[in-house]
Amino acid sequence: MLANRYAHGAHPPQIYPKMPKTDKAPNVPVLRIYESIRSTHLSDLRTMTAGHLLYREKMYDFEEQLTEHVSIERASRLRTVRRILSANEQFIEINEPFMVRAWPSLLLYTTAARVSRSVLRKRFQLTTYAIENNSPVLPIQELLPLPPSWVQNVVQAICAYIMKPVDRVAFGTPGAASNYRLLVPQLLAKIDVAETLELPTPCTCHGPAKSSNLLFVGEFSDRKGIRQAMRLWDQVWDCPDITFTMIGQGPLLDLVLDWSRAHSRVQVVVDPPREEIHSHLRRASALVLLSQSTPRWREQIGLPIMEGLAHGCEIITTDQTGYAEWLGANGHTVVSQDVDYRRLAEVILGKIRTPRPAAQIVGTLPLTSSRHDFDRWMNSARTYNDPDATATAR
């Protein structure tokens, strides 16, 4: 059903068990509950299954003007619990169980879901979308001075409690699916699972032809590899035919500004609107995001990578992103996070000066959004199971 909507090199979601055979999105409301929200969520909501979204906090790239015609509401944990208990929606989506910083919220929300089902006798499907590539054991191990086996047991218990009432989970990267199967394999065997790599669709905006420009988009922080990007540029700065544009904001903004003043062909753009970011993406020949993993964090996908691909950019990144295997197989540059930057500089000069045609790069992308395909599946009726199972079993 999905395969004919995908371009060469991309694959539709693998669904276990088989997706119900319907081409029409269910005309039912969905309650989505996110710990935090960013601009890309608002854009996605416009074309996803109709519903209402509750969130606790805004991320740095949140743009208020994108909230028009989108049903969202900021809510405390207590307000959200009350909303779950009074919900009449058929589908409720929560953050993924391995999102450690959301555990206080998720423990409350899944408890409320249990009470709603067992005491109030309400029937709904609880769903989640998962892209976490980092084991939740690692950040907890760093925080708690306990034997590794104790930490493993505690983390497994928390994840199992959060995950047990979930009816469907959609995995947006193979790394996330492997991550969950290592920690909670028995639970995954009991729920519906869909799995594919969440690739972007080609952007439909138009603009000038590509120039010899290297682009960084994202948070100016250590984890996003901004220092590594600057170190890389220091290896090629004396090439007069290329430029470097850095777009974003973050804790290392002052460092970036100070560094840029010593480089005449470097431009820093602080927190521009989405339209301006798209304009830079259209012109850039290559995008760099040298993500640096820590025990507490690993790049899940990388929104700048998605946007770079959607605009036909060559991608230069580390093997820490969930896209690493796909990027390497499709002609992009994937390196270890401790790469020799002199050697990398030699490689990227060719990528910047003579990139592949943008049409060739976007030709490897799906024609429709796999995230939206996931959303349709997550919010469709479980016609092949006992209809009472969702209401009472968990």
Please give the chain's pLDDT, 394 residues, in tens: 333 333 434 444 444 433 333 334 334 589 999 998 877 777 777 788 888 999 999 877 766 666 677 788 899 999 999 999 999 999 999 999 999 999 999 999 999 999 999 999 999 999 999 999 999 999 999 888 889 999 999 999 999 999 999 999 999 999 999 999 999 999 888 899 999 999 999 998 876 667 889 999 999 999 999 999 999 999 887 788 899 999 999 999 999 999 999 998 999 999 898 889 999 999 999 999 999 988 888 888 888 999 999 999 999 999 999 899 999 999 999 999 888 888 888 888 888 888 899 999 999 999 988 888 899 999 987 654 444 444 334 5
- Please give the Cα distance from 218 to 254 (Å, whole number): 15
What is the residue extent of each domain of the chain?
3-199+368-392, 213-362
Tell me 297's DSSP state. B
Supply the angle between the helices 103-118 and 77-86 in degrees, to the nearest 10. 20
DSSP 3-state percent helix, strand, coil across the chain (nearest 5): 40, 20, 45
Q: What are phi and psi of 257, to 5 degrees?
A: -65, -45
pTM of the model: 0.83
CATH number of 3-199+368-392: 3.40.50.2000
Angle at 222 between CA 218 and CA 224, to 5 degrees: 35
Helices (H), the chain: 39-45, 77-86, 103-118, 137-143, 148-163, 174-183, 185-188, 226-234, 253-260, 274-283, 303-310, 324-329, 341-353, 358-362, 370-378, 389-392
Is the fold of 3-199+368-392 the same as that of 213-362? yes
* Rounded distance between C-alpha atoms, residue 225 and residue 177, angstroms: 25
Superfamily of domain 213-362: Glycogen Phosphorylase B; (3.40.50.2000)
With H, G, I as helix, E, B as strand and everything else as coil, classify residue 173: coil
Q: What is the pLDDT of residue 257?
A: 97
User: Could you tell me where the DSSP H helices lie in 75-120?
Assistant: 77-86, 103-118
Give the pLDDT score at 207: 67
What was the pLDDT predicted at 23? 38
